[in-house]
Amino acid sequence: MPRYARNGDVSLAYDVVGDGERDILVTFGWVGSFQSALEHHPHARWLERLARLGRLILWDKRGTGLSDRMPPDRLPTLEERMDDLRVVLDAAGSEGAVAFGISEGAALSATFAASHPDRVSALIVLGGFARMLRAEDYDWGPTPEQTADFNRRVGETWGDNAWLLELWAPSVADDPVAQQQWNRMLVFGGTPATAIAWLEMVQDTDVRHVLPTIRQPTLVIHRVDDRIVPVQHGRYLAEHIPGARYAELPRADHLWWNEGDDILDEIESFLTGTTGAYEPDRVLATVMFTDLVDSTTRAAALGDRRWRDLVEEHDRLVRSRLDRYRGREVKTLGDGFLATFDGPGRAIRCAADLRDGVRSLGLELRAGLHTGECELAGDDISGIAVNIGARVGARAAPGEVLVSQTVKDLVAGSGLVFEDRGEHELKGVPGSWRLYAVGGA
């Protein structure tokens, strides 16, 4: 029977299978559901063997399967889905797990591993990708026009998806039983509108900049003739995740349970051969720098005592907002703060709230945000991402929340609005950086 974890007002279905020595958090792709997997004999048998390697934590992403359905025009952001992962781990009583992301679940699992290294001991990516669409420097994905045609056909044929099975699992595409089970899995997982909306969200995904920040032992598995996610995606993942082990396997099926013992062989070798505990010393985080504008002039006008009282009010306000948005205070910097967040959306909203809140004190604040890999040194942080965040903050105008392109890309679909501030040279940081001002929500 499924269990439920709650993240705010959303109920997330999950189940626990087995009782092995390690936890394995399995995230399926697209509209895959663990319940339909457990009721499908070949898939269930595959998961049963995987469960010999650890306690499986299976879950349905919000909007799919047995979890609360979402309106097609309000699908979750990457940050919200990372929160869902954390909530499911907590509900399952897991302090840390192997994050196993399949297909579209790979990008989510990889980003969660980078953002929460204390909760992820190792990462496994199967048939995954960092970005789906073609770009100038990523030329093996489909074009926007091709994906639009694909999405349209999915909506028109939902419930009779034999043509999709030819792409996902050509080895069983002509098997009537496999076709029936495939259709049942898709229909159980989501409605036509939800399926298309998820496809569009997947096609907007781009977590390439996250990959170099992953420090856990990582296994990337990909089939060489995969028709849905071409093998170049897997090769890219393996090349850009430091120290990743790459297994390129024969055959074309994207569906992992079809003659999938070779996949399980690779996973077993990886997990049982991993020695030692992973101790995180780096983390993917959003850094926020805030600074009071023209504080020296204000202090001189008010006098030391009145200015000190005003700064104390400011500090209380900042700390209350950090609590509200789950930020972590790293340290104070003169009249400002350095804080980190595990989600860029919360960081942006916190900065905007602070900007508006300090105006009630007669003060003006500017803020700069960047997402990147931070080195942990006790309670302090360091690294190039911190330097970039500081430089972005220095570029902000009074009353402005300024973010890097990386932050903007990670909150796609969040409803946040940005104003392009153009390309900038950041002191001490190579290259040029496109910056954006937060305009509203």
pLDDT digits (tens, 9 = 90+) for 130-184: 999 998 889 888 999 999 999 999 999 998 888 999 999 999 999 888 888 899 8
Query: In terms of domains, do 189 and 323 share one?
Result: no
Residues 204 and 342 in one domain: no
**How many H-runs (helices) and E-runs (strands) does the chain carry?**
15, 16
**What is the per-residue pLDDT for 274?**
55
pLDDT of residue 132: 92
Residue partners of 399: CB distance under 8 A and separation at least 6: 293, 355, 364, 365, 366
Residues 132 and 230 in one domain: yes
Given a cut of 70, the residues of the chain with pLDDT beneath it are: 274-280, 440-441
Regarding whether 75 and 31 lie in a shared domain, the answer is yes
Return the CATH number at 100: 3.40.50.1820
Closest to 102 in 3D by CA, of 234, 2, 195:
234
Structural domains of the chain, count: 2
Identify residue 344 by its one-letter amino acid code.
Answer: P
pLDDT in the model for residue 20: 84
Q: What single DSSP character describes residue 76?
A: P
**Cα–Cα distance, 392 to 423 (Å, whole number):** 11
Shared domain for 406 and 289, answered yes or no, is yes
The answer to whether residues 438 and 401 touch, using CB atoms and an 8 Å cutoff, is: yes
pTM reported for the whole predicted model: 0.83
- Choose the final residue of a domain: 273, 305, 320: 273
Q: Check whether residue 130 and residue 190 sit in a common domain.
A: yes
- Tell me the pLDDT tens digit for each residue of 253-309: 999 999 899 999 999 999 998 544 556 678 899 999 999 998 878 778 888 888 888
Domain C-terminal end among 218, 242, 273? 273
Q: 213 with 108, same domain?
A: yes
Same domain, 240 and 286: no
State residue 441's pLDDT score: 44
Q: What is the CATH number of the domain that holds 347?
A: 3.30.70.1230
Residue pair 342/364 in contact (Cβ under 8 Å)? The answer is no
Q: Can you give the pLDDT at residue 440?
A: 58
Write out the residue range of the structural domain in which residue 47 sits.
3-273
